[in-house]
Amino acid sequence: MKFFVDTGDINDIRDLASTGLLDGVTTNPSLIAKSGKQFLPLIKEICDVVSGPVSAEVAATDYDTMIREGRKLAGIAENVCVKVPLTPAGLKVCKELSDEGTQVNVTLCFSAAQAILAAKAGATFISPFVGRLDDIGQDGMQLISDIVTIYGNYPEWNTEVLVASVRHPMHIVDAAMMGAHVVTCPPDVIKKLYSHPLTDKGLAAFVEDWKKTGQSIL
C-alpha cells in the first residue's frame, strides 16, 4: 500500500519524506488556503521534495476552464497529478488529460457507480471519501471494498483506489486488508500508526534496565 499525506504544509511533508514512508501528496483548495501560501509555487516546492504523485486540484467547474487549468498544473512538474471533481465535465477533462499522458486523480467519489465512470475515463486514481460517508451514517469502508472488488473484475482498468477522508489508523488497516492501493491521510493520522501503549511500556522498561548496568555503547 502507498502512503500519501493530505496536507499543504511543506514542513510536515519534508518531515514525513525524510522517513522514507511517503509515496506522494494530495492537496485541495481548503488545504492550500490553510497553508497561507501561493498555490502554484507551493505545488512546485512540494514536487521538488516528493518524487511520487502530487495531486493539485483545478479550481474551475466548467470543462473549458478546467482543461486549461489542468494543463497548466501538469506543466509545473512531471509528478503533478491533476485532481478533478467527479462530474461530467471533470470526467471529460480526465479522459483528455489521461490521453495526453497526465496523471489524473478523480476526487469526491461517494459511490461505486461513480468509481466505474472514473475508471472508464482513464483516471490514475479514484478518491472515495470514507470519513465523510461515515459522518452521514453510511459505511465508508464498505464503499472501498465494493470498488476494489469491481476493479478486480476488470484487469484492463489501471485506476488505483486512493482512500481519502481518512480519520483514524483503523481506516488505514481496513483499507490495506481490502487491497486498496493507496491511502491519503493527514500527518497526525500517519504518526498515530507508530503508537501502541505496549511499545511505550516495553521501551521504558528496557531503558530503565540498561541504566542499571552502568554501561554505555558509545
Q: Is residue 72 part of a domain?
A: yes
The region, left, alpha or beta by phi > 0 then psi within -120 to 50, assigned to residue 214 is: left
Instruction: Decide if 83 is catalytic.
Output: yes
pLDDT bin (cut points 50, 70, 90) of residue 184 is: very high
Q: Is residue 218 part of a domain?
A: no
Report the interhelical angle of 169-178 vs 140-152 (nearest 10°). Answer: 20
**Per-residue pLDDT, 103:** 98
Q: Is residue 125 part of a domain?
A: yes
The total number of structural domains in the chain stands at 1
Q: Which domain holds residue 201?
A: 2-213
Using the CB atoms, write b or e for 10-33: b if 16+ within 10 Å: bebbeebbeeeebbbbbbbeebbe
Per DSSP, the three-state class of 155 is: coil
**Per-residue pLDDT, 134:** 97
Q: Is residue 11 part of a domain?
A: yes
By residue count, the chain amounts to 218
Q: Is residue 95 part of a domain?
A: yes
Give the domain CATH number at 16: 3.20.20.70
- Cβ-in-10-Å burial (0-12, 13-18, 19+) of 199 comes to exposed
Q: What is the mean pLDDT of the chain?
A: 97
**Per-residue pLDDT, 90:** 98
In this prediction the pTM is 0.94
- Cβ-in-10-Å burial (0-12, 13-18, 19+) of 8 comes to buried
pLDDT bin (cut points 50, 70, 90) of residue 173 is: very high
Tell the residue number behind the cell numbers 486514481, with chain if given: 125
Q: Is residue 164 part of a domain?
A: yes
Phi and psi angles of residue 177, each rounded to the nearest 5 degrees, phi first: -65, -30
Select which of 37, 44, 72, 83 is catalytic. Answer: 83
Question: Nearest-CA neighbor of 22 among 196, 182, 194?
Answer: 182
pLDDT digits (tens, 9 = 90+) for 19-75: 999 999 999 999 999 999 999 999 999 999 999 999 999 999 999 999 999 999 999
Mean pLDDT (whole number) for 82-96: 98
Percent of the chain at pLDDT exceeding 70: 100
